[in-house]
Structures are given as C-alpha cells and as structure tokens.
C-alpha cells in the first residue's frame, strides 16, 4: 500500500471516531530524510484522494500540492525527533475539553489507572499557541523528543510515532484516557493508585521505551 493510501485510511479512522471534523487536522509521513508527504489544506479528512496529497521538504519547500497550513508543527517535530516517521494532529473533543475547563492543568491526571502509565507514561498539555504559526511549532520544543502524545491547549492533540499506526494509536489512546477521567470526575472523584503500584508500573513502562502502546 502506498504512503498516500495509508494516510487516507488513517484519516477515515480518525474521522469515524469523531476525532476530526470537516477540514480539521492533518497527517504526515516522512518519505525519506528530506521529503514529507502531508495532507492538503482545507480538505475534509473523510474524503481525501491520493492525488491531493502534498509533498514538502524539512526546510518547508513545497514540492507538490497545497500542504496543510499547520505543516510548521509537523516539521518542528520531525527536526527534533529523529525517530519520528509519522505525525497525526487531530481534535479529540474530550481531551480538548479538559484544557478549556481546567486552564491551569499542566497534564492529565496520570496516576489513576494502569493504562495511562503503561501506554504513554504521562500526557502533558502544551501551552496555547495560534494554529499554523511559528509559535505553535515553538511551544512544542520543550516537550520533544521525550513525549510522543501531546495535548494542545484549547486546540487539539498531536502524536508522533515510528509508524503511522503508532501515531494514530496515540490520539485514540489519549481520547480514551480523557473520556475515562471525565467519567470518574462526573461520578464524584478522580483517585490514584497506591504509590507502590504506581512505581511498579513506571518500571514496566521504562522497559518499553517512549513508544506509545
């Protein structure tokens, strides 16, 4: 399957899960050391065509098509994260809602259930920056390359991976965690695992490296 087909498949998966609406979001794959294949600007991710995909270089030179207006964010990640082969930017509703209702939160609660620690370690919230600007690329810098899944305050989320599947899974994992925590809060309270269990899970997580599960 061609890289463009993988992107189309991932976009449909994200759209069907309500992580994307209309022309929201963007997906990219690193073709080689210099070339990036990225979704086009202003196109619904539910109806992408292979011939609409754009190509850019790491220096932001447009080789083909009309690339996403948020490509600077993708390029910043590729430059900082040598292992990054694919990036997904989406708008998972519950994850975004946490940053709106809790504007001073620095990360989602990460000690409440095992999947958070084992799958991602933690889920930092990147300070707000206007989409499509160099500021959006710059605010990511302190979080890279350590974190592969990031919440973008009042905007969305971005995940990178060594495969496109890992990046898509990162967005899916984030929203599932955000939804679970929301339900716990609605039921009355978010509680933590015992400290000794948290430390045991962290040790297991360390054996996985930074990859998203």
Secondary structure in 3-state letters for 96-155: HHHHHHCCCCCECCCCCCHHHHHHCCCCEEECCCCCCCHHHHHHHHHHCCCCCEEEECCC
The reply to whether 152 falls in a domain is yes
Calculate the average pLDDT of the chain: 96
Residues 118-152, buried b or exposed e (16+ Cβ, 10 A)?
ebbbbbbbbeebeeeeeebbebbeebbeebbbbbb
Q: What average pLDDT does this structure show over 137-166?
A: 97
The phi and psi torsions of 56 (rounded to 5 degrees) equal -135, 165
Q: How confident is the model at residue 175 (pLDDT cuts 50, 70, 90)?
A: very high
The average pLDDT across 174-198 equals: 97
Q: For the chain, what is the domain count?
A: 1
What pLDDT, on the 0 to 100 scale, is given for residue 203? 96
pLDDT at 84: 98
Contact 212, 148 (CB under 8 A): yes
Please tell me the distance from the alpha carbon of residue 199 to that of residue 185, in angstroms, as a whole number.
Answer: 24
Is residue 56 assigned to a domain?
A: yes
User: How far is the C-alpha of 198 from the C-alpha of 122, rounded, in Å?
Assistant: 12
On whether residue 95 sits in a domain, the answer given is yes
- Provide the residue range defining the domain that includes 96: 3-208
Query: Which helix (H) or strand (E) covers residue 166, if one does?
Result: helix 164-187
pTM over 0.85? The answer is yes
**Gap between the Cα atoms of 39 and 44, Å rounded:** 10
In a domain, 139, yes or no: yes
The predicted pLDDT at position 165 comes to 98
Residue 143 lies in a domain: yes
- The enclosing domain of 134 has a CATH number of 3.40.225.10
Residue 26: is its pLDDT beyond 90? yes
Residue 39, domain member (yes or no):
yes
Q: Is residue 187 part of a domain?
A: yes
Q: Is residue 213 included in any domain, yes or no?
A: no
Given a contact cutoff of 8 angstroms between Cβ atoms, the answer to whether 46 and 111 are in contact is no
User: Is it the case that residue 1 has pLDDT exceeding 80?
Assistant: no
């Amino acid at each position: 399957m061609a890289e463009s087909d993988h992107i189309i498949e991932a976009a449909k998966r994200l759209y069907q899960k309500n992580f994307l609406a209309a022309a929201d979001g963007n997906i990219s794959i690193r073709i080689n050391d210099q070339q990036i294949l990225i979704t086009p600007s202003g196109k619904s991710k539910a109806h992408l065509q292979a011939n609409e995909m754009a190509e850019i270089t790491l220096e932001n030179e447009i080789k083909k098509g009309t690339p996403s207006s948020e490509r600077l964010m993708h390029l910043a990640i590729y430059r900082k994260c040598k292992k990054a082969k694919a990036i997904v930017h989406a708008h998972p509703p519950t994850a975004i809602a946490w940053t709106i209702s809790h504007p001073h939160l620095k990360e989602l609660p990460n000690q409440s259930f095992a999947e958070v620690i084992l799958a991602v370690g933690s889920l930092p919230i990147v300070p707000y920056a206007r989409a499509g600007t160099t500021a959006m690329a710059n605010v990511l810098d302190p979080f890279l390359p350590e974190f592969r899944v990031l919440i973008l305050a009042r905007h969305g989320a971005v995940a990178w991976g060594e495969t496109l599947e890992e990046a898509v899974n990162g967005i899916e994992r984030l929203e599932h965690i955000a939804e679970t925590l929301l339900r716990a809060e609605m039921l009355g309270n978010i509680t933590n695992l015992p400290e000794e269990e948290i430390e045991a899970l962290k040790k297991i997580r360390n054996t996985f490296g930074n990859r998203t599960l």
